[in-house]
Amino acid sequence: MPNDSLKDSLAEKRWLTALANGDPNALGALYEMYGERIFRYAFRMLGNRTDAEDATAETFLRVLRRSAELRADGAFRTWLFRITRNLCIDKLRQHKLMELPPDAQYSGSDERATLRITVQQALADLPTEYREPLVLCDLEDMAAREAAEVLNISVPALKSRLYRGRRALRDKLSGTLERNP
Amino acid sequence: MNENDLYSKLVDLYAEHALPADMENRMEAAAANSPELAEEMMTLRGAVDLLHAEEAPEFTEESYQRILLKMYARGVELQTKRPDPIHLQYQLPIQG
């Protein structure tokens, strides 16, 4: 295991134990460790900043609420993503927030920004069962085993959805891919 | 697994740059004789590359602070290493 991962794992264990013991620094430390990744994931699922911030805050509130049950055995990060995923799915059901985010800001040249908007729109148009593996594996760079655990499916099922999702995305982007080989 | 399934699987692995170099060369040699396979390989890899090149949404300082505020608003006491933003450090004098 690389040194950084080992350090993160030890720090996670320490802070989870501290959280269970009521240490007020613990939740802040866990937010420092995972807040950005959870926010990014929520943003990619929901498509807008405000809802992603709400989902991130609610995720960490649930960490606090369940502090006595949390196990520092390496499964915490997966559990965190699973909680965020459930919150995002609830929000999507409530608000049908599948349109292009109104507050999305894209930097770079016009051509690059257009390309990003096209990719975002194509992703948002995919059925959730295809979009989720793409977000976790291709955008968040999560290993297949962990992504499968977050989605509560087997690794072969995850890969099947991932490959189908990529083909579906490719079909939606066909014109774009011809212009940007 | 029939021949089509096998090709489909290989194209999936080619698209994510997961094939060993010699297998990738063999796929490209096969594609040279099959425009349909070449199109499939090129477009799928293009889609995967586009995804991998996507920039992550920026986790701004404002977002970081707003998330903290949402937690404070729910009665949670938590401390972080980052200093509070200036506008939260000092109370403004009450006027009037």
Q: How confident is the model at residue A154 (pLDDT cuts 50, 70, 90)?
A: very high
Average pLDDT of the segment spanning B17-23: 94
Tell me what pLDDT residue A70 has: 75
Residue B68 within a domain: no
| Average pLDDT for A62-70 | 85
The ranges of chain A annotated as CATH 1.10.10.10 are 106-181
User: Does residue B48 lie within any of the structural domains?
Assistant: yes
Interfacial A residues in 123-162 facing B (CB < 8 Å): 134, 138-139
Confidence of residue A114 (pLDDT cuts 50, 70, 90): confident
Between A50 and B2, residue with greater pLDDT: A50
Q: Looking at residues A144-158, what average pLDDT do you find? A: 96
For residues A24-49, give the mean pLDDT. 92
Is there a domain that residue B7 lies in? yes
pLDDT surpassing 50 at residue A173: yes
**CB–CB contact A138 B12 (8 Å):** no
- Taking CB atoms and an 8 Å cutoff, what residues of chain A touch B44? 166-167, 170
- B61 belongs to a structural domain: no
Residue with tokens 């295991």: A1
Q: Please say whether the structural domain A106-181 has been given the CATH code 3.40.50.720.
A: no
What is the C-alpha to C-alpha distance for residues A73 and A13, in angstroms, rounded to an integer?
Answer: 7
Q: Give the closest-approach CA distance of A170 to chain B in angstroms.
A: 5
Give the count of domains, chain B.
1
Compare CB distances from A181 to B46, B64, B67 and report the shortest one's residue.
B46
Q: Does B23 reside within a domain?
A: yes
User: Under an 8 A CB cutoff, do A173 and B48 touch?
Assistant: no
Residue at B82 is within a domain: no
Q: Which two tokens stand for residue B41?
A: 């390989």
CATH 1.10.1740.10 occupies which residues in chain A? 1-101
Inter-residue contact A57 to A27 (CB < 8 Å): no
DSSP three-state, residue B81? coil
pLDDT (0 to 100) of residue A11: 85
Q: Residues near B14 by Cβ (< 8 Å), separated by ≥ 6?
A: B24, B27, B41, B44, B45
Residue among A37, A56, A50, A47 at smallest CA distance from A116? A47
Instruction: Find the angle CA(A99)-CA(A102)-CA(A108) to the nearest 5 degrees.
Output: 110
Question: In the predicted model, what is the mean pLDDT of residues A83-97?
Answer: 84
Q: What is the pLDDT of residue B44?
A: 95
Determine the pLDDT at residue A109. 65
Residue B10 lies in a domain: yes
Burial class, A166, CB count within 10 angstroms (exposed 0-12 / middle 13-18 / buried 19+): buried
pLDDT confidence of residue A96: 61
Fold category of A1-101 in CATH: Rna Polymerase Sigma Factor; Chain: A (1.10.1740)
pLDDT at B68 over 60: yes
List, in order, residues 6 or more apart from A35 with CB less than 8 Å away.
A56, A60, B59, B64, B67
Instruction: Give the ipTM.
Output: 0.81
| Structural domain includes residue B71 | no
Q: Tens of pLDDT along B83-96?
A: 665 555 555 566 55
Q: What's the pTM value of the predicted model, to 2 decimals?
A: 0.81
pLDDT category at A102 given cuts 50, 70, 90 is very low
SS3 content of chain A, % helix, strand, coil (to 5): 75, 0, 25
Percent of chain B with pLDDT over 70: 84
> Which structural domain, as residue segments, surrounds residue B13?
3-52
